């Protein structure tokens, strides 16, 4: 694994794809753990188009050692650095019949433990007693997101599409995208592979058209401490 190329790609383009991070056996075990859970809690969201588990690593702690295998730990250390910790985790299942389309957007909020008035923090949202806030830009610029793929994913079952280099342009309103200047890249990822991206990259996904599942574990990492009164709600070293 030549990780320097991937590191350069994340810095310059805002994303990279690395396949073969997990063995078939590891993917199978992760899938089995997810299938066995009690889905009645309020952190779980279920509809025909989407099944999601918020605070995934907290809700299913037994999956942690399967996910953080030697390959992933090495990637985090060499690409992100020694001091990074997880700050958010979600599991998404985009089922075979999903008509769920996600318009271009940036990930502009972080999950925190409470709502407090703080300069440069806002707007705030609250979902199911979970607090999310848009922090200052430097905190967002510092986050890395890893998306672990449990299924082969391409443009026919909701692979992420991104606008390369858009992560370096600050807050970028999707309605102002000039397609004469920007390009779109579809990020195909093999089952057992990962995509790493900066949350400020403009990204979205199309509906599923090939009747195949798309299961993804989304984990965000930071090495920043928040102002004293505020904590990352899912902080985990």
Q: CA separation (Å) from 90 to 6, 188, 189?
A: 23, 20, 18
Distance CA(100)–CA(118), nearest Å, equals 35
pLDDT along the chain (237 residues), means of 10: 95 98 98 85 74 92 96 97 96 85 96 96 89 97 98 95 98 96 97 98 94 95 96 94
For the chain, give the number of residues: 237
pLDDT at 107: 97
Six-digit token string for 225: 């401490």
Tokens 């009690």, residue located: 38
Residue (of 140, 119, 165) closest to 11 by Cα position: 165
Backbone angles phi, psi at 46, to 5 degrees: -135, 130
Q: How far apart are the first and last CA of the chain?
A: 24
Q: Between the CA of residue 82 and those of 72, 77, 102, 144, 199, what are the distances in Å?
A: 13, 5, 33, 13, 20
Domain limits, the chain: 3-222
Residue 54 CB partners (closer than 8 Å, separation 6+): 43, 44, 45, 90, 128, 130
Distance between CA atoms of residues 117 and 229, nearest Å: 10
User: If one looks up domain 3-222 in CATH, what number appears?
Assistant: 2.60.120.620
pLDDT for the residue 2: 87
Quote the pLDDT of residue 151: 97
Let me know: does 203 contact 162? Beta carbons within 8 Å.
yes
pTM of the model: 0.95
Query: What's the CA gap between 102 and 152, in Å, rounded?
Result: 19
């Amino acid at each position: 694994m030549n990780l320097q190329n991937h590191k350069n790609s994340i810095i310059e383009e805002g994303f990279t794809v690395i396949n073969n991070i997990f063995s078939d056996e590891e993917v199978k075990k992760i899938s089995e753990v997810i299938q066995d859970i009690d889905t009645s809690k309020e952190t779980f969201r279920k509809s025909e188009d989407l099944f999601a588990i918020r605070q995934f690593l907290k809700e299913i702690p037994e999956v942690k050692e399967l996910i953080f295998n030697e390959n992933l730990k090495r990637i985090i250390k060499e690409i992100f650095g020694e001091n990074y910790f997880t700050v958010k985790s979600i599991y998404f299942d985009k089922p075979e019949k999903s008509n769920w389309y996600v318009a271009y957007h940036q990930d502009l909020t972080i999950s925190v433990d409470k709502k407090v008035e703080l300069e440069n923090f806002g707007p705030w949202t609250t979902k199911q007693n979970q607090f999310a806030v848009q922090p200052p830009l430097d905190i967002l610029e510092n986050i890395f997101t890893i998306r672990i793929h449990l299924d082969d994913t391409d443009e026919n079952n909701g692979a992420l599409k991104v606008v390369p280099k858009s992560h370096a342009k600050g807050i970028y309103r999707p309605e102002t995208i000039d397609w004469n200047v920007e390009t779109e890249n579809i990020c195909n990822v093999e089952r057992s592979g990962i995509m790493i991206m900066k949350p400020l990259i403009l990204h979205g996904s199309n509906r599923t058209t090939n009747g195949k599942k798309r299961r993804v574990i989304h984990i965000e990492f930071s090495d920043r401490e928040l102002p004293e009164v505020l904590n990352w709600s899912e902080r985990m070293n």
